[in-house]
Structure 1
Amino acid sequence: MTGIFTLTALAFGLSVDAFAAALGKGTGDRTSPLLGALRIGFVFAAMEALMPVVGYLIGLALSAWVASVDHWIAFVLLSLVGLHMIWQAFKDEPETLKARAEDAANGPIKGPRWVHLGLAAIATSIDATIVGVSLAMVDTNLFLAVAIIFAVTFAMCTAGALIGRKAGDWLGHWAEVAGGVVLIAIGVMILTQHLSQGI
């Protein structure tokens, strides 16, 4: 059974992309009101919590065929997502990262704010679908996982939307690195636990 601490760390790792996008929103509007920040936090959190459910259902359907190597699959998926996040953070120059966060937060097309926000939330939560597959490979309480992911993402994105421009430029870069490291660490932990138990 995946514990609350592990799920909280996983939620942190998943939510850093959304956090970076929320920072981008704050960069574009340094005086974002609390209501706007709460709206950003809710939309990102809802999507970040929904995507693992989709992945979990996919993983559940496959679990009967991959039961003997499920811990390896969870390890590989989490590691790939984590490495991609770290690579993306170091690949982008600070100005590029800032522009990417602003694009995610504000949306590249014209239209209602909710549409922009929804598209940004989907874009930053795609990785969560892959992680959801890995959750199905280990003994995880899906409802607890979804609740924790929602709560952590909501808190991080609401805070991110309220952070000023200068802090946002620096934090967005290193938040992605930290999130990637956390996901890799969880993958390693799942693998070592299963191997030590002879599973």
Structure 2
Amino acid sequence: MACALGMDAFSVSLGMGMLGLRLRQIFRIGVVIGMFHIIMPLLGIIAGRLLSSYFGMIANLIGGGLLLLIGLQMIVSAFKSEDEPAIKPVGFGLIIFALSVSVDSFSAGLSLGMLGAKTIVAVGLIGFMSMLLSWLGLIMGAKFQNLVGSYGEVLGGFILLGFGVKLILP
């Protein structure tokens, strides 16, 4: 399960990596995504033990909506004359990005909470794998961005849009 949730973060990180990030930014982004992949399933486990699986669908809708918003902002900013993208993976933008890629971990946490999984082991593995795979996706996206030039941000935006739609639609 940790690999599956991490692969989702990897895929979305490919798109964000096309913003031309520095290694220090890539490191921070991966750490924050890893932390969110610990916090979200932990909250899901707690909620899963207390509530029904109704929140799983709501979490997917929220995550999908956030990815759509980020993807649209990346595409729009690519066509503006400014050099700066509309959303940057720093500060509040980083929190929104990390939240959007970790919302599916909340749903997984709901299931784990209902099944009575070992909390520390589960969330630790999910966070660690998500951090590693996010780093890999960000680095690969940055390398790919060098190959596609100015169209990298548009391509990254469409990747994020695709994953947003995937989360929203069944």
Q: Which interval holds the TM-score relative to the shorter structure?
A: 0.5 to 0.7
The structural deviation recorded for 1:59 is 2.7
Question: Which residue in 2 is equivalent to 1:127?
Answer: 100
Matches within 5 A, 1:77-156: 77-95=62-80, 98-100=83-85, 104=88, 121-122=94-95, 124-128=97-101, 130-139=103-112, 141-156=122-137
Q: Are the counterparts in 2 of residues 89 and 174 from structure 1 also a CA contact under 8 Å? A: no
- Structure 2 residue 42 is the aligned partner of structure 1 residue 15: no
Structure 2: gaps (5+ residues): none
Percent identity over the alignment is: 14
Structure 2: distance between partners of 1:121 and 1:86 = 14
Structure 1: gaps (5+ residues): 26-36, 106-116, 192-199
Query: For the structure 1 residues 12 and 61, does the alpha-carbon distance in structure 2 shift closer, same or farther, using more than 3 Å as the test?
Result: same
Structure 2 letter corresponding to 1:174: L
Structure 1 letter corresponding to 2:10: F
What is the aligned residue count? 162
Structure 2 letter corresponding to 1:104: K
Equivalent of residue 40 in structure 1, options 13, 16, 25: 25
Q: Are the counterparts in 2 of residues 41 and 158 from structure 1 also a CA contact under 8 Å? A: yes
The structural deviation recorded for 1:177 is 1.9
TM-score, normalised by the number of residues in structure 2: 0.66
Question: Which residue in 1 is equivalent to 2:162?
Answer: 181
The structural deviation recorded for 1:67 is 1.6
Q: Are the counterparts in 1 of residues 72 and 157 from structure 2 also a CA contact under 8 Å? A: no
Query: For the structure 1 residues 80 and 66, does the alpha-carbon distance in structure 2 shift closer, same or farther, using more than 3 Å as the test?
Result: farther
Q: Are the counterparts in 2 of residues 73 and 134 from structure 1 also a CA contact under 8 Å? A: no
Structure 1 letter corresponding to 2:109: A
Deviation digits for residues 97-139 of structure 1 (CA, Å, limit 9, x no counterpart): 85127x837xxxxxxxxxxx67775464243454443332344
Q: Secondary structure at the match of 1:100?
A: coil
The structural deviation recorded for 1:154 is 1.1
Q: Are the counterparts in 2 of residues 77 and 131 from structure 1 also a CA contact under 8 Å? A: no
- Structure 2 residue 60 is the aligned partner of structure 1 residue 75: yes
Q: Are the counterparts in 1 of residues 74 and 85 from structure 2 also a CA contact under 8 Å? A: no
TM-score, normalised by the number of residues in structure 1: 0.59
Moved over 6 A (4+): 117-120
Q: Decide which structure has the larger Cα Rg and report it.
A: 1
RMSD: 3.7
